[in-house]
Structure 1
Amino acid sequence: MTDAPVAIRSGRIGPPAGPYSPAVRVGDLLFVSGQGPFGPDGRLRGESFGEQAHATFDNLEALAIAAGTDLSRAVRIGGYLADQADFAEWNAVCKERLREPYPARTTVPVELPGFAIEIDAVFWIPGVAR
């Protein structure tokens, strides 16, 4: 039996900026769209790269919790950095926020409009029958 996709939202993050779901659960997997360092009011949270990275992880975590999982069950993350010079700090934040076994990860430099980082992710949701 295959589960139909279910959109996941959280009141702890702002609404999507376009025609997409913040996250979609299919079976025991959660696919989270790129999240940035924005609060529920749409305002930028944090000035430094580290502050923005933590705020972005907070948004990922809010969606994960809404779907019945948490950051410890991330199986893949993608980091999109406005400045590749922030790579070492990105590694430090990942080490602080994630646990071993660390998820598979991709990091790429991109142009971001006025913020330092965006993160997307895939999570495993334990206890969901397949």
Structure 2
Amino acid sequence: MKDTVGAVALDKHGNLAAATSTGGLAGQHVGRVGDSPLVGAGVYANNETCAISCTGDGECIMRANVAFNVHALVKYKSLNLHDAVVQACQDYKDKITGDRNLIALNKEGNIVFQFETNLMFRGSRKNDEVTYVAIWKEE
């Protein structure tokens, strides 16, 4: 695998979960640890607020603690999930370059797909609703 796969979930008991698996970046130093295994950087879940899985420039995501930042903006600033995601991706943008892309899900079952690239393979399903699947930004 050469790309990132992320997932967020909400079970019938109200538990949130997030997971991120990545193929990493080509040409990196042996032993490099990216953002995916760092809770708070590339992945985070808290039953009080939301679950987040990130993809993009790992070093950028680590420095900005993007996943935890989304949670903190929801919890401490009472932002809705969409606004928290947008702000977390913009924080430090002037100091830290790189793509910040993510999926987020809150305890009400609302999902946000945020990405700065032209495409991101994504999908979601809620209960018996029609499955949403998309690739391109405008979908």
TM-score by length of 2: 0.34
Greater helix share, structure number: 1
